[in-house]
Structure 1
């Protein structure tokens, strides 16, 4: 059983939650939740009357005194649908599930068991094949690896053309445009045209670690080209370069099933 008395006593002495967690062999989340519930119930050290850990648990967590039959299993189908939404994680859904259980005086399952139920459901229904990319969240951009050429109608000279490629991972909807150079001005112009083509701006733009967009590649703190960063601030988006030697971070720019062109 959790040492409720000791947690409240140490908190009254001004000990940090990290220190209390270490002393009572509990997680910091548990310590935080116990202190939050104690404040809500007006319970603090020293107690007006002597209370045991069992009595404190009954006051702070009345749902734990219910039989195991009152445990409510999570709705895995609902969880699967919610996970497809931007910003939704299993941790957030578990918090929502716990609040719902406690509001109905039911016992929630632990986070580990909650995840186990969902993964079991996903394996049985083949739900693990869902698209990991979420609509409108990412835009992958890069210069195409192979240089094309434009033939001058007058001189017959072949002029090198560098192809900008962008793609929405969820739909694989792509946009390409050719430029006569890979200078920063053309890189920025290509992004603006892509945003106009898609009719909006994604939350995140994922470029390769090319010099036009990334001054210094780094696994932890890449340095973004100043003009490129200013463009991102103007359009209220975020630039997160692909990791070095991780081509799977931007796979869709290599596959262009359908494309638009200026």
Structure 2
């Protein structure tokens, strides 16, 4: 068996080439850029699983096909200790801590544990069912959340070698989570307004409400109930016909 498992897309193509196109093992290997032994291994698994072609509708789901072809995964998962997701969630709130870093620590403690993609998937499932999150429902086209995010990214000038830190303007549609990200070197009003315009162009429209954080480019005075808006930002809202609903300032 190959050290790295084929993607499900490539695996389905392997079966198509064999059972529909009737190609030889060698031809399939050449077409997919894999070894003959890998092709034979997957075809052997297909025989054991008694797969038919075309695949039945219930095997359109990748997880179902994986479970059928790799029954050893279920046994390994049953024997594999689950990460402490509450601890993972708490650690992710710390500056500089990423899921990749926590996954690497997990593998050191549990050799043969979940692969990174599976680790992230299971954390996401835990998060969705955990009481630590409050799920918000957003109507399509209703809200767009905007802010300058994080500590920024290092940008190196390929000619001079100069290193600059770019902030990331992020706009996210509440209902679909469609996201627009733009690196910028300033957080002034002109940049803030320009980023909005380009985000709207990217989205192909404007939401009814835009929810900015309380940064100076958008909100000149943060107040829990009556924040003051930057005049230029207010003009932008009137021009595009959206309402500005600043996020409430955090309590200390």
TM-score (structure 2 length as normaliser):
0.45
Q: Which has more radius of gyration?
A: 1
Which TM-score applies when normalising by structure 1?
0.43
Greater relative contact order, per chain length (Cα 8 Å cut-off, separation 6+):
1
